[in-house]
Amino acid sequence: MKTSIIRLFAVLILLASFALSPLVNVVHADGAQPSIEIVSVKPGETVTIRTHSFPANQIFTVRMGKFGTQGVNGTQVDTTNSGAGGSFDVTYKVPSDLKSEEKIAIRMESPAGYYSYTWFTNKATSGGGTPTTPGTTTGKLSLTILAVEKDKTVKVRAEGLPANQTFTIRIGTYANFFRDYTVAGTFSSGSGGTVEFTSNLPDPVKGVELVSIRIDSAQKVYAYNAFKNATGSGSTGGATTPPAAAGQCQIVSVQPGRSVGKYEDFDAVWEVKNTSGKTWEASAVDYKYVSGAAWHEKSVYDLQKSVANGETFKIVVDMKAASTAGDYRANWALVQGGTTLCNLSMGINVK
């Protein structure tokens, strides 16, 4: 079986409240994070949003739900192709079951793992509307992993910090961070800007390959990253999977488009279009597990046939759902040697 360096996505999570969500917000290679701004509202009828830093050529599912849900498993109101990406305005209808709600959550998520959400007050506004989601990071708040000593410590640089806030450091496993994180300390942002700190790795992550770290303040400012628990240094503290080069592929659809039951056997299916300008040769390309829900029987597969540029094909992985209800994400990738051709991500709800 062909091998390649397995790398982990650097991720940054935007949260609308202190409630934690197991989903991960994928960011651009340059650190930009997709976000949503409310432009105007016609109560009980429509909401107009403006996107920022959206990736190009992604099909986003748009959902609305009750305030506090972050739009997870909300009513699907539309799908939107991000086209050239960046910033664009679009208007969506408020679903009938939410027309009388005082506040409504709206969420956009793509099969490639990008997502963003916010909420709006269901009353007439224009020319700016309600503010973006409380709890999003300010400026370009980010975490960079500087060094890791396996099972002992992680050294981190936090940049873009607001002044005079106390941040709590949380560390847990990558796959189940929101269930098993440990508070590993606190630090003060002082005058803001950049702070470096070193945290001991708690017992629950010792011996675990992939580890997550998050900081958050009482003012609801958050940042998040992940690293490989291996002694080393550099921006990721060990080997990680690089993002696919822009324009290499287009995710056409992802299945199952429904919730699955506990222990349910199901096929994860990504329909992918090769937009790389080259043929993906079956003899040189694999698709493999990267991180997240490890529900597969095999972690790496050979590409079944060569795929010409412009051709659409399906990638199928046999999976069995977890025994615990909740929202999960499985991250896979189409790779050629040490190069990632296409990132494959799937959000899965277990009932």
CA-nearest of 124, 98, 103 to 43 is 124
Instruction: Provide the pLDDT for residue 305.
Output: 92
pLDDT at 332 over 90: no
d(CA 49, CA 38): 5
pTM score of the predicted model: 0.39
- On the 0-12 / 13-18 / 19+ scale of CB atoms within 10 A, 212 is buried
pLDDT at 245 over 50: no
- Name the CATH topology of 249-350: Immunoglobulin-like (2.60.40)
Instruction: Provide the pLDDT for residue 2.
Output: 41
pLDDT at 241 over 60: no
Give the per-residue SS3 of the chain: CCCCCCCCCCECCCCCCCCCCCCCCECCCCCCCCEEEEEEEECCCEEEEEEECECCCCEEEEEEEECCCCCCCCEEEEEEECCCCECCEEEEECCHHHCCCCEEEEEEECCCCCEEEEEEECCCECCCCCCCCCCCCCCCCEEEEEEEECCCEEEEEEEEECCCCEEEEEEEECCCHHHHCEEEEEEECCCCEEEEEEEECCHHHCCCCEEEEEEEECCCCEEEEEEECCCEECCECCCCCCCCCCCCEEEEEEECCCCECCCCEEEEEEEEEECCCCCECCCCCEEEEEEECCCECCCEEECCCCECCCCEEEEEEEEECCCCCEEEEEEEEEEECCEEEEEEEEEEEEC
pLDDT digits (tens, 9 = 90+) for 180-239: 889 999 999 888 888 889 999 999 999 888 788 888 888 777 777 777 788 864 433 333
Q: Which residues make Cβ contacts (< 8 Å) with residue 168, sequence separation at least 6?
A: 183, 185, 186, 215, 216, 217
pLDDT digits (tens, 9 = 90+) for 49-64: 888 778 877 888 899 9
Instruction: Provide the pLDDT for residue 62.
Output: 92
Instruction: Provide the pLDDT for residue 247.
Output: 60
pLDDT digits (tens, 9 = 90+) for 273-323: 999 899 999 988 999 887 777 788 788 888 989 999 999 999 999 998 887
Dihedral Cα 218, 140, 241, 133, nearest 10 deg: 50
pLDDT digits (tens, 9 = 90+) for 7-33: 333 333 333 333 333 333 333 333 346
pLDDT at 242 over 80: no
In order of 195, 214, 216, 314, the CA distances from 167 in angstroms are 11, 10, 5, 44
Instruction: Provide the pLDDT for residue 267.
Output: 93
Instruction: Provide the pLDDT for residue 315.
Output: 94
Instruction: Provide the pLDDT for residue 187.
Output: 92
In order of 22, 194, 229, 289, the CA distances from 190 in angstroms are 30, 9, 29, 41
Percent of the chain with pLDDT strictly greater than 90: 21
pLDDT at 137 over 80: no
Please state, rounded to an integer, the average pLDDT across all residues of the chain: 76
d(CA 214, CA 223): 6
Q: Are strands 142-149 and 232-233 parallel, antiparallel or unpaired?
A: antiparallel
More confidently predicted of 285 and 174 = 285
Bridge partners of 327, per DSSP, are 349
- Name the CATH topology of 35-121: Immunoglobulin-like (2.60.40)
Instruction: Provide the pLDDT for residue 304.
Output: 87
Q: Candidates 1.20.1090.10, 2.60.40.230, 3.40.50.300, 3.90.1150.10; correct CATH number of 142-233?
A: 2.60.40.230
Q: Where are the domains of the chain?
A: 35-121, 142-233, 249-350
The answer to whether 137 and 222 have CB atoms below 8 angstroms apart is yes
For residue 27 the two structure tokens come to 């960011």
**Residue type, position 185, single letter:** G
The answer to whether 317 and 301 have CB atoms below 8 angstroms apart is yes
